[in-house]
Structure 1
Amino acid sequence: MKRLLNIRHISAGLTAVVIGYTGSVIIIIQAAMAAGADSEQVASWLMALGIAMGVTSIGFSLRYKIPVVMAWSTPGAAMLIGVLDQYDLAVSIGAFVMTGVMIALTGCLKPVARAIQAIPQPMATAMLAAIVLPFCMNAFLPAESDFGIFMVMFTTFLMAKRWLPQYVMVLLLVAGLTLALWDGVFDDQSVEFSLAAPVFVAPEFTLQGLINISIPLYLVTMLSQNLPGIAMLRSYNYSLPLPQVLIGSGITNAVLAPIGGFSVNLAAISAAACMNENVDADPSLRYRSAIWAGIFYLLAGGWATAVVVLFVALPDAIGQMMAGFAVLGTLLMCLQNAFNDTRYHEAALVTFLVTVSGITLLNVGSTLLGLMAGGVVFLNKSYR
């Protein structure tokens, strides 16, 4: 029992959830509102996502004994904000169901899953570094706009790294909440700690929903979430059977879509909190931190109504710094791995630059374009 209540495991699990929620919960809320969801339905979306992420994180981590942290698709939610207002809520829900089915089918089609896993690690980690980089850069923007908050949070970060490195994110959260309370951020907020209730919406399946919602969400989820998630696990020398994860997460996605579970996939940025040496000196025991992440996901989902109020009220500067400081080590590790093999130097560099540019060509995003460009560079070099 004592081993199960390891404070480092609990702290890492809580950190992963805090990073995930702090960095993107507002985007999820905006996506739900764009779909036409009312306040109760928004809470239902967060509850469904909490259940989906919690059940899959616990289940996969127990099954494979590695730290498998699941998440919602933040890039997917950002994409949905600009799309869902054109469709009825029922059509959007139907599209979410179809996305889940497509992900599950990808797991069943082994050649597709193998093709994803066959992407060279230097290029995959270069892509992941490009995704992480903006978070790290944004962590320092409050120095200009909110200097007082920045100094308190930055000082807390430095002191924690020096004396209590395994509790950095917990201490940053305490500091952030203290600052928010001091500034009276929550004075006008009415937080109800009643359990959220699911709101069922019967899905409506349409061709337009498939083309304009399901397929783009599927591609973004696979390329911007599952692929970086695999890269993150590989970076810490963990091997995960991708087909089984895709089948399980896809089915979970499809089942919970009618109450708002639009996406569940491998986490990348937040997952790093459960994989580093500060979690446990023994890599084979770090999976327990992912189990705790799943437990906290379930709790956050159950009290989704309160979560909505708290995270919407939290100052942006605090969220930016927490997300950025949490992945500084990840960025360093990704850059080291991306450029460790001289055969892939140019390909990894092009992958990194194209991905970080954020460009879009013919409706293809920078994540896929980065990998395509890097692949072309590598093949060109190979055939010289």
Structure 2
Amino acid sequence: MMNTKYLSVSHITAGVSAVLIGYTSSIVIILQAATAAGASAAQIESWLLALGLMMGLSSIGYSWYYKTPILTAWSTPGAAMLVGVAPQHDLPTLVGAFVVTGALIFITGLVTPLSNALKRIPSSLSTAMLAAILLPFCVKAFEPIMSMPAMFLLMFIAYALSKRFAAKYTMLMLLIVGLAAAFYLDNDLVSTAHFAVANPAWLTPEFDVMAIFNVAVPLYIVTMLSQNLSGIAMMQNYGYTAPVKPILIGTGVINMMAAPFGGFSLNLAAISAAMCMTEEVDSNKGNRYRAVIWAGLFYILAGLLATSVVSIFVAFPSEVTQMLAGFALLGTLLMCLQSAFSNVRYREASLLTFLVTLSGISFLGLNAIIWGLLLGWFYASLMNKKAENS
């Protein structure tokens, strides 16, 4: 029987809230990424099962060992990136790229100069790249106003009211409204949902040089800059010391092991992790890791019930899915745009990175994400040299 000290209501509710917010804010994007990759319904279930298990077990393991609230998550910006690039590669090649991403994270944990080099990428450029990846999702959220105006107004009003009165639970409210609307539009949606434990589906990875450059490297950069570094900063903000090397080494290994089952990324959580670190969770800072233990258990439960989740979301009208994904990313897009153009020194370079990434170009086998970062970095370096010489 679990020790009663782990049965605190505040710990349980914080853990549940962290998982709910993490899932509801990006589950639709994960499903879109898996679908864009050409995954079948059974493979999509395997993706969610693998992600739930790897996040749950790693969160429990790290938090228990270090007695520190260390919550892991999937990379939402990474999933958004996959929606755009996945159709250009077949599924085994994408899985190979996921393995390489895990290997790069593992190596970063071993080689300190590599992690230091990654930190030297100007944050303005990396956030401009992320903004360009996220923008199409946010734009598509407003397209249903033409085909389903009543549905759009209902979703938008729900978004605005929840942002005003219960901002933490905005995506949960939108998900509830979206579910209700989908059931109203299709009475047979209930019959399509079935409850069963998800099964893993192995897919042997294949390795392709272009997929490594166009998928693995961008996914690695996005995961490190937008997730791991911000997760470390969040822990430090609440007075915790992040065991950086063990986290990178461990998440990299788990990522490699889970990739054939659909585990495309594993990294530190940031925003949802904060829910397990506040004074409201426990007045004793040393006990707050127990909230992450509960979050890990709920991660595992959500992964096991992936079959039910997929059966419902696959039957969703595409307009509802577009709105859920777009509204979920509005806050992240705003944060990225503010960060990208706040530093005058990198403003023009950030604009170049943003536009090139958004363009969707492909040249010499490299996609727009890589070119956007390369051209922006080159331009920033050139302008900074000019400023130094003048």
Q: Give the structure 2 partner of residue 4 of structure 1.
A: 11
Provide closer, same or farther for how the CA distance between residues 295 and 353 of structure 1 changes in structure 2, counting only shifts above 3 A.
farther
Which one is further off, 163-172 or 22-31?
22-31
1:66 Cα deviation after fit = 5.8
Residue type at the aligned position of 1:119: I
CA contact (8 A) 2:19 2:299 kept: no
Provide closer, same or farther for how the CA distance between residues 356 and 55 of structure 1 changes in structure 2, counting only shifts above 3 A.
farther
- TM-score normalised by L of structure 2: 0.78
CA contact (8 A) 1:32 1:42 kept: no
1:186 Cα deviation after fit = 4.1
Provide closer, same or farther for how the CA distance between residues 215 and 299 of structure 1 changes in structure 2, counting only shifts above 3 A.
farther
Deviations 1:142-181, CA, capped at 9 Å, x for gaps: 1112211101101111121222222211111111111111
Distance 2:150 2:17 in 1: 26
Q: Give the structure 2 partner of residue 28 of structure 1.
A: 34
Q: Give the structure 2 partner of residue 220 of structure 1.
A: 218
Which one is further off, 112-121 or 322-331?
322-331
Matches for 1:168-247 after TM superposition, within 5 Å? 168-184=170-186, 186-187=188-189, 189-200=191-202, 203=204, 209-211=207-209, 213=211, 216-230=214-228, 232-233=230-231, 243-247=245-249
SS state at 1:327 partner: helix
Distance 1:171 1:379 in 2: 45
1:364 Cα deviation after fit = 1.7
Provide closer, same or farther for how the CA distance between residues 373 and 358 of structure 1 changes in structure 2, counting only shifts above 3 A.
same
Residue type at the aligned position of 2:27: Y
1:40 Cα deviation after fit = 4.5
Matches for 1:126-141 after TM superposition, within 5 Å? 126-141=128-143
1:222 Cα deviation after fit = 0.8
Residue type at the aligned position of 1:211: V
Residue type at the aligned position of 1:132: L
Which one is further off, 323-332 or 305-314?
323-332
* Alignment partner of 1:327 is 2:329: yes
Distance 1:61 1:133 in 2: 35
Matches for 1:332-371 after TM superposition, within 5 Å? 332-371=334-373
* Alignment partner of 1:69 is 2:67: no
Distance 1:371 1:286 in 2: 38
1:232 Cα deviation after fit = 4.8
Runs of at least 5 residues in structure 1 that lack an aligned partner in the other structure: none
Distance 2:361 2:94 in 1: 26
SS state at 1:324 partner: helix
Provide closer, same or farther for how the CA distance between residues 67 and 345 of structure 1 changes in structure 2, counting only shifts above 3 A.
farther
* Alignment partner of 1:16 is 2:22: yes
Q: Give the structure 2 partner of residue 254 of structure 1.
A: 256
Distance 1:185 1:216 in 2: 42
Runs of at least 5 residues in structure 2 that lack an aligned partner in the other structure: 1-7
Identity of aligned residues (%): 35
Residue type at the aligned position of 2:362: T
Q: Give the structure 2 partner of residue 155 of structure 1.
A: 157
Distance 2:274 2:69 in 1: 15
Deviations 1:250-272, CA, capped at 9 Å, x for gaps: 211222345x13422337xxx66
Which one is further off, 15-24 or 92-101?
92-101
Which one is further off, 225-234 or 131-140?
225-234
Distance 2:32 2:371 in 1: 27
SS state at 1:198 partner: coil
Q: Give the structure 2 partner of residue 83 of structure 1.
A: 89
Distance 1:330 1:355 in 2: 17
Provide closer, same or farther for how the CA distance between residues 26 and 376 of structure 1 changes in structure 2, counting only shifts above 3 A.
closer
Q: Give the structure 2 partner of residue 304 of structure 1.
A: 306
Matches for 1:31-70 after TM superposition, within 5 Å? 31=37, 33=39, 40-59=42-61, 63=66, 65=69, 68-70=72-74
Provide closer, same or farther for how the CA distance between residues 288 and 320 of structure 1 changes in structure 2, counting only shifts above 3 A.
farther
CA contact (8 A) 2:103 2:252 kept: yes
Residue type at the aligned position of 2:89: V
CA contact (8 A) 1:53 1:71 kept: no
Distance 1:254 1:123 in 2: 28
CA contact (8 A) 2:69 2:292 kept: no
- TM-score normalised by L of structure 1: 0.79
Distance 2:192 2:12 in 1: 33
Distance 1:57 1:307 in 2: 22
SS state at 1:192 partner: coil
Over the aligned positions, Cα root-mean-square deviation in angstroms equals 3.7
Provide closer, same or farther for how the CA distance between residues 379 and 211 of structure 1 changes in structure 2, counting only shifts above 3 A.
closer
Distance 1:122 1:314 in 2: 36
1:43 Cα deviation after fit = 3.1
Runs ≥4 residues deviating over 6 A: 91-95, 234-237, 281-292
Deviations 1:126-153, CA, capped at 9 Å, x for gaps: 2222222222222211111221110110
Aligned length: 367
